[in-house]
Structure 1
């Protein structure tokens, strides 16, 4: 299972979520949509044309789940659900 967070360097909610995930010991891959046009296109494709971050993607053997601006509680619950 892989957790990816699409972010920007200036996004306050992104910084908060990353900090909370780190405190919880949850590892993730970070992709800055300002530095990666393909990532920006993906974020827009799952957010009705908007570059809304943080956009969180969990890849598991059962597929991909995308959440926009989730809380750390939501991310933890999602990870528990897809790993069960």
Structure 2
């Protein structure tokens, strides 16, 4: 897992989780992802205005988090299952062969 602040344009083939502090939905998803071997980048939208603007652009003008991109495809508030299905489809190389 990576935690550097990068925008979706810098991680076109990867997974980026856009989140913010005190968001219970973000903490739930991030906690669930800890039990997987998925490689992803976390971006705090409160520290990155460009990331916040990106989230608004895909969430009908709202800063709805978690918003996740998988190989550049945006998902607003996905479940762990939805996220992992998207990874299997668009970026299977990010999942460990032992999962």
Residues 21 and 27, structure 1, Cα contact 8 Å, conserved in 2:
no
Residues 4 and 30, structure 1, Cα contact 8 Å, conserved in 2:
yes
TM alignment of 1:1-84, pairs within 5 A: 1-59=13-71, 64-83=72-91
Compute the TM-score of the two structures, normalised by the length of structure 2: 0.76
Unaligned runs of 5+ in 2: 1-12, 93-99
Aligned counterparts of 2:75 and 2:91: Cα–Cα separation in 1: 16
Aligned counterparts of 2:55 and 2:34: Cα–Cα separation in 1: 22
- Count residues with an aligned counterpart: 80
Compute the TM-score of the two structures, normalised by the length of structure 1: 0.89
Unaligned runs of 5+ in 1: none
Q: After TM superposition, which residue ranges in structure 1, 4 or more long, deviate above 2 angstroms?
A: none
Describe the superposition over 1:17-67 as per-residue Cα deviations: whole angstroms up to 9, x where unpaired: 0111110121210000001111111100111110000000012xxxx2110
- Superposed CA RMSD in Å reads 1.1
Q: Where is the strand percentage greater, Structure 1 or Structure 2?
A: 1
